[in-house]
Amino acid sequence: MHALVSIHDAVFRHVERGGNWLLPLAARFVFASTLLLYFWNSGLTKLGDGILGLFSPSIGAYSQIFPKQLEAAGYDVSQFGLFQKLVVLAGTYAEFILPLLIVIGLFTRLASLGMIGFVIVQSLTDIYGHGATDGKTLGALFDRFPDAVILDQRLFWVFLLAVLVVKGAGALSVDALLRNRMEPAIA
């Protein structure tokens, strides 16, 4: 029995070391292949027309972020103040910048933490702003059905991002490149 435990420990010690290198890279790959374009396309729907659209969000941006307030304002964006415009712009920019930082592996832990916050706000807006409270969309944990958009799907997103918060970007990243360049200067 002792020999079996020793073999197990020896094998999985190597797996664990490899996992420390592979897990963050795999998490960034999964994020890039499943969520990068989702967030970028969502961000594109929030931009206004032309190059100045970067600073002038579309009505779609307000309808996604402030749905009830926009309806109460008769869909007249001019009734919104500077605060709402800044929130919409920040949310729009976050949908482009944070996923890009995660994919290239720059400030990965902070970007992933920011994306976790973004997903939580997105989910709360869907529930309270858009009224996504039906069982199919909202779902329920431990209900044996893994197909709900909010509680099931986004729980996986947050878990994936939490792996990056804990593990960082891994060896193949801009973070690692910067860290390797800084270590000789510190020593």
Residue 187 has pLDDT above 60, yes or no: no
pLDDT-based confidence at 185, cuts 50/70/90?
Answer: low
For residue 144, the model assigns a pLDDT of 86
Higher pLDDT, 5 or 154: 154
CA 170/CA 185 separation, integer angstroms: 21
The domain locations on the chain are 2-186
Angle between helices 37-44 and 82-104 (to 10 degrees): 150
Token pair 């897990």 in the structure block, residue: 23
Most confident of 78-82, 93-97, 182-186: 93-97
Lowest mean pLDDT across 53-57, 104-108, 113-117, 122-126: 53-57
Higher pLDDT, 9 or 121: 121
Q: How far is CA 166 from the centre of its chain?
A: 15
Structure tokens that stand for 177 in this block: 């490149």
Residues 70-83 have a mean pLDDT of 92
CA 59/CA 84 separation, integer angstroms: 12
For residue 66, the model assigns a pLDDT of 94
Spatial contact of 176 and 105, defined as CB atoms under 8 Å apart: yes
| pTM, entire model | 0.87
